[in-house]
A and B are shown apart, each in its own frame.
Chain A
Amino acid sequence: MAAEIVEALSSCIRTIDCKQGAVRAVRFNADGSYCLTCGSDRKIKLWNPNKNLLLKTYPGHGKEAMDVAGSCDSAKLVSCGADKMVIIWDVATGQSLRRYRGHATVVSCVRFNEDSSVVISGSHDNSVRIWDTRSNIYDPIQILNDAKDSITSIQVTENKILTGSVDGKIREYDLRAGQLTTDTLGEATTSVTYTRDGQCVLASCADASVRLIDTTAGELLNEFRGHTTKDYCVETATGPGDSTILCGSSDGCVWIWELVTGNVLGKLTHSSLPTVVPSLSINPSANQVLTASEGCIKLWGEMSPEDILICDD
């Protein structure tokens, strides 16, 4: 089963040269029909990856854009950049609706919550700040200062906030239980994500490993190795179907392992040169993966029938 999924994913159906300098992050939107890229040219671009169309550009950051997230209704985007700002954009008009200033340095990751009423951003100033979009408050409504080093990634579910930090710990803030659960991994964590069922946490670490941690007891269920990270921050995700793990690597490929056994199932070769693939995103509704490296993004997987007819490539 897993092998079939890898088969399907291994074909690169699209390559888009974003012309944005280096693409820092690529993200699918909530329904998977559009994707967003953040570039080092300080702009966010909205694409339809299946049709190979650039839909809109959002300029406004003072320095390079680091991360972007789309809202649940795809009407808004939130982006963060090295200019310490978190900006909420209106997708249709391209105007910036809110600019949140509060972080002390580069903001590395940003997410919306389930109903997009709250923005959670993590920064290299070791803090996670929570901003409210519904009210007129321009200050963060809560600041989480538990990390001792930069926050590299955030994941939000309906009542939990998961953060990964370079201090080697992943922190899960449970709003319903009023608890903070800290799991020490010992290695700088570059990316954290939940598995589809929410029972486990995937964390990619700086020692070129991806660890699968159980959320209930904090035990290490599996460890995936083989790729290289050197000094880069790479991202990890669970593949469609929750039976595969994907992680970017600094050798130009995205590695795929089987979740249960830990065997390497295959690689998505983004580029033949050993350039790092810092970002990847799984389509929430289709069997597709987007990977970003250097200045271009690649769409892998299956295309829906109508898109096949329209495309040229």
Chain B
Amino acid sequence: MGTTEAYTFYGTQLEELTEDELWAKKPVPVEEQVATDKQGRRRFHGAFTGGFSAGYFNTVGSEEGWTPATFRSTRAEKEAKRQQRPEDFMDDEDQEVFGIAPKVLRARQEYKKATIGGHGATSLEGLLRPVRDTVGVLLLRRMGWRPGQGVGPRQTAAEKRRRRQVAGRAEEEEEPEDDLEGVTFAPDDLTALTVAPKTNTYGMGYVGLATPFSLFEPPKPVMNAAVGGVRGQAFGVGAFEREDDDIYAADDMSRYDFFLESSNESRKRRNDEKRAEFEKKRRHGESKCLENFAEAKEKMATATFYPPPQVPKHFVPKHGVRQTRFSEQKPQVAQKLAERRGRHDLSAEQRGVLVGEVERKTESLVRKPVPVLDFEVVPAELQLGQFNPFSNNPEKLKRYQQYLTLKKMKQTDKLVCLQPPELTEWEKSRELNEFEQAAELFRPLAAQISDRFVSASTLVGSDETPTQTEQSPVEESVKAAKLKMFGKMTRDIAPWQPCALLCKRFNVPEPNSGAGRHFEFD
């Protein structure tokens, strides 16, 4: 571990964060972490995002705008030939890394390092030479080969020139020397295949703007299936914009009208033309269509034909008339039906006889003497309104009404007289209970209204009495507490269900037999 002086520091140091800051900052969600450029506009990896704002929103160079060069020529100073370069119209933003003309330091051609296959490679090879020639080389030399020549049958000058042309080597026009016929030359050596490295960042299949461009033909669709439907353009429309019309690309005259007519008229005209064509066809017998009809472009789907089922050889069809139950029954049928139902018409005694029961002497159940009402119960006018507890049982409803009258007379036990004897004891007592509860729940309207309203004579000038009834349940306990009457008045016990997990954590069995399982905490 050396001293820190030995280190050089590169970059700007992060500023110290205090602990309060640390906790106060909320993490920025990923969607909000956008890259912005110097002016705070949203950046998109350097892609063109629409518009030629050139730094100062359509001005160049400064806020005031681009000032063109002024023309000034005097007799003394003649105006020099002005050569304007595109760089004059660019500003710093264009010359940044992501601009149109980035200013990058580059090495000149001569100082570029050697590429594979260039001059450098062979010179490197030239450094490493074998000490001895190989046997093959020795043999070739003996046979007349010299280094630099190719291997093969000897060629005349004309043949050689032709070969060179085929190979595509650029050659200067040489005047064919007056060669003596028969002078052969060794063939050219094959050059090593040089693989040119990719020095650009074009994609596969990239073709520049080399396609010829015509106004009068629709643009040929340069479609690459491999591209997979990547549309749009990298020029003119920004990365953040949705697809716009192809304003800079090839235009086509078919998009423009040549006549002054509306779309309706043009459609009509086209239809007329089509019709005329068909007429012509028909007249010539080419088309089998009817008048005012057009041949379909698509073939109709033929319906599938299902053959009828195969009937077995010895099949005899039997067709009977279907009987409805509304038609008259045939006498035999009716008799038979009556016979079959016979067993349901027996009484208990008859059935007992059939089975062979021994008759038992049973004493009939002693019926308790039903108390007899000594007065007539007139059912009172019942303002049931919405409250009708026994809507599905009109008998019961009537008995309820009579019960209410009895209640007024304080002779509710006389309900027994009114109840029919078919009800069992339990049912009778149950009905009595039901009537009691119903009477309690429902109080006739008059009584309810009287609760809410107070006649003017009772009010002494304070407005406490009406509010009392509304707030009674809440205020009571507080009032009792204030009067130090703690106990029943101040205490309220209500059921409460802890959730299942809470009971588990407290190691307590769940109360109310597992009602916490369906708990939804609010």
| Shortest distance between the CB of A100 and any CB in chain B (Å) | 14
A182 cross-chain contacts in B, Cβ below 8 A = 491-494
Q: Choose the segment among B127-135, B261-269, B446-454, B505-513 that binds chain A (4+ C-beta atoms closer than 8 Å).
A: B505-513
Q: Is A178 on the interface with B (CB-CB < 8 A)?
A: yes
B497 within 8 A of A: yes
Q: Which of B483-518 contact A (CB under 8 A)?
A: 484, 486-488, 490-499, 501-503, 505-512, 515
A65 CB to nearest B CB, Å? 13
- Contact indicator A113/B494 (Cβ below 8 Å): no
Q: Report yes or no: B491 in contact with A218, Cβ–Cβ below 8 A.
A: yes
Residues in A with CB closer than 8 Å to B511 are 175-179
Total B residues in contact with A, Cβ cutoff 8 Å: 38
Contact A220 B486 (CB under 8 A): yes
Range for the number of chain A residues in contact with chain B: 35 or more
Q: Tell me whether B484 and A142 are in contact (CB under 8 A).
A: no
B476 to chain A, nearest CB (A): 9
A173 partner residues in chain B, CB cutoff 8 A:
496, 498
Asked if A181 lies at the interface with its beta carbon under 8 angstroms from chain B, I say yes
Chain A's nearest CB lies how many Å from the CB of B239?
Answer: 38
B465-492 vs A, Cβ < 8 Å mask (1 yes, 0 no): 0000000000001101110101110111
CB of A186 within 8 A of CB of B481, answer yes
Q: Within 8 Å of chain A (Cβ to Cβ): is B305?
A: no
- Judged by a CB distance under 8 angstroms, whether B522 is at the interface is yes
Contact flag A219-B494 (CB < 8 Å), given A176-B511, A184-B478? no
Structural contact, B490 and A175, CB atoms closer than 8 A: no
> Please, which residues of chain B bring their CB within 8 A of the CB of A175?
498, 502-503, 506, 508, 511
| Residue B259 interfacial (CB < 8 Å) | no
Q: Which B residues are in CB contact (< 8 Å) with A143?
A: 521-522
Which stretch, B18-26, B63-71, B426-434, touches the partner chain A? Answer: B18-26
Candidates A113, A178, A186, A218; contact of B496 at CB < 8 Å: A178
The distance in angstroms between the C-alpha atoms of A159 and B509, with both chains bound, is 10
- Specify which of B487, B503, B507 is in contact with A219 (CB 8 Å cutoff): B487
Q: Which of B478, B496, B506, B519 contacts A114 (CB 8 A)?
A: B506
- A168 & B19 in contact (Cβ 8 Å cutoff): no
**Closest Cβ neighbor of B519 among chain A residues:** A142
Instruction: Collect the chain B residues with CB atoms within 8 Å of residue A176's CB.
Output: 508-509, 511
Q: Closest Cβ of chain B: how far from A188's Cβ, in Å?
A: 12
A218 and B480 in contact, given A113-B505, A176-B509, A178-B511 (Cβ under 8 angstroms):
no
Nearest residue (CB) in A for B509 is A176
Query: What DSSP secondary structure best describes chain A's contact surface?
Result: loop
Using a CB-CB cutoff of 8 Å, which residues 35-71 of chain A contact chain B? Answer: 42, 59-62
Q: Does A185 reach chain B (CB closer than 8 Å)?
A: yes
**For A154, what are the chain B residues with a Cβ–Cβ distance below 8 Å?**
none
Q: A177-B511, A218-B486, A218-B491 are in contact. Are A168 and B505 (CB under 8 A)?
A: no
- What distance in Å separates the Cβ of B303 from its nearest Cβ neighbour in chain A? 62
CB closest chain-A residue, reference B476? A184
Say how far A206's CB is from chain B's closest CB, in angstroms.
Answer: 13
Residues of B within 8 A of A180 (CB): 493-496
Q: Measured between C-beta atoms, what is the minimum distance from B198 to chain A in Å?
A: 51
CB-contacts of A156-180 with B (<8 A): 158-159, 168, 173-180
Q: Is A132's CB under 8 angstroms from B491's CB? A: no
Residue of A nearest to B511 (CB): A178
Interface residues of B in 1-28 (CB under 8 A from A): 19-20, 23-24
Q: From A59, A141, A168, A177, give the contact of B521 (CB < 8 A).
A: A141
Q: Please determine whether A217 and B491 come into contact, CB atoms closer than 8 angstroms.
A: yes
Question: Is A118 touching B495 in the complex (CB atoms < 8 A)?
Answer: no
Q: Is A145 an interface residue (CB 8 A)?
A: yes
B residues in contact with A158, CB < 8 Å: 506-507
Q: Is A117 close to B, CB under 8 A?
A: yes
A88-B506 Cα distance, complex, nearest whole Å: 19
Residues B19 and A59 in contact, CB atoms below 8 Å apart: yes
Q: Is A295 in contact with chain B by the CB < 8 A criterion?
A: no
- Complex: A218 Cα to B489 Cα, angstroms: 9
Residue of B nearest to A139 (CB): B521
Query: Is there contact, CB below 8 Å, between B482 and A181?
Result: no
CA distance A62 to B19 in the complex (A): 10
* Complex interface bits, A267-302 against B, C-beta within 8 A gives 1, otherwise 0: 000000000000000000000000000000000000
In the assembled complex, the Cα of A299 lies from the Cα of B472 at a distance in Å of 48
A115 at the interface (CB under 8 A from B): yes
Complex contact B487–A186 (CB within 8 A): no
Contact of B486 among A62, A134, A219 (CB under 8 A): A219
Residues of A within 8 A of B508 (CB): 159, 175-176
The answer on a CB contact under 8 Å between A142 and B498 is yes
- Select one of A118, A183, A217, A219 contacting B502, CB under 8 A: A118
By beta carbon, the residue of chain B nearest A141 is B501
Minimum distance in angstroms from A255 CB to a CB of chain B: 21
Do A140 and B521 have beta carbons less than 8 Å apart?
Answer: yes
B-side contacts of A62, CB under 8 Å: 23-24
Q: Could you tell me the distance between the alpha carbons of A141 and B510 in the complex, rounded to whole angstroms?
A: 15
Does B501 lie within 8 Å of A132, measured CB to CB?
Answer: yes
Point out the residues of chain B lying under 8 angstroms from A142, CB to CB: 498-499, 502, 519, 521
Instruction: Known A42-B20, A168-B481, A176-B509; judge A181-B492 contact (CB<8 A).
Output: yes
Q: How far is the CB of B408 from chain A (nearest CB, A)?
A: 40
Query: Chain A: which residue is nearest B501 at the CB level?
Result: A141
B contact residues around A200 at 8 Å (CB): none
Q: Which A residues, 90 to 133, have Cβ-Cβ distances below 8 Å to chain B?
A: 113-115, 117-118, 130, 132
Chain A neighbourhood of B482, CB < 8 A:
186
Q: Which of B490, B501, B509 contacts A184 (CB 8 A)?
A: B490
Question: Cβ of A213 < 8 Å from any Cβ of B?
Answer: yes
B490, B506, B510: which contacts A113 (Cβ < 8 A)? B506
Q: How far is the CA of A130 from the CA of B522 in the complex (A)?
A: 12
Q: Please, how many angstroms separate the alpha-carbon atoms of A182 and B521 in the complex?
A: 20
Shortest Cβ distance from B482 into A: residue: A186
Cβ A145 vs Cβ B512 within 8 A: no
- Least Cβ–Cβ distance between B55 and chain A, in angstroms: 42
Residue pair B478, A183 in contact (C-beta under 8 Å): no
A sample of 24 cross-chain residue pairs with beta-carbon separation below 8 angstroms, ordered by A number, consists of A59-B19, A115-B505, A130-B502, A132-B502, A141-B502, A141-B521, A142-B498, A142-B499, A142-B519, A143-B522, A177-B511, A181-B492, A181-B494, A182-B492, A184-B477, A184-B492, A185-B481, A213-B486, A217-B487, A217-B491, A219-B486, A219-B487, A220-B484, A220-B486
Contacts A142-B499, A179-B495, A180-B493 aside, 12 further interface pairs with beta carbons under 8 A come to A60-B23, A141-B502, A142-B519, A143-B521, A173-B498, A176-B508, A177-B511, A181-B493, A181-B494, A184-B480, A217-B491, A220-B486
Q: In the A-B complex, list the 8 residue pairs whose CB atoms are closest, starting with the nearest.
A: A178-B511, A186-B481, A218-B491, A180-B496, A184-B477, A220-B486, A184-B490, A182-B492
Task: Tell me the A residues contacting B by CB distance below 8 Å.
Answer: 42, 59-62, 113-115, 117-118, 130, 132, 134-135, 140-143, 145, 158-159, 168, 173-187, 213, 217-220
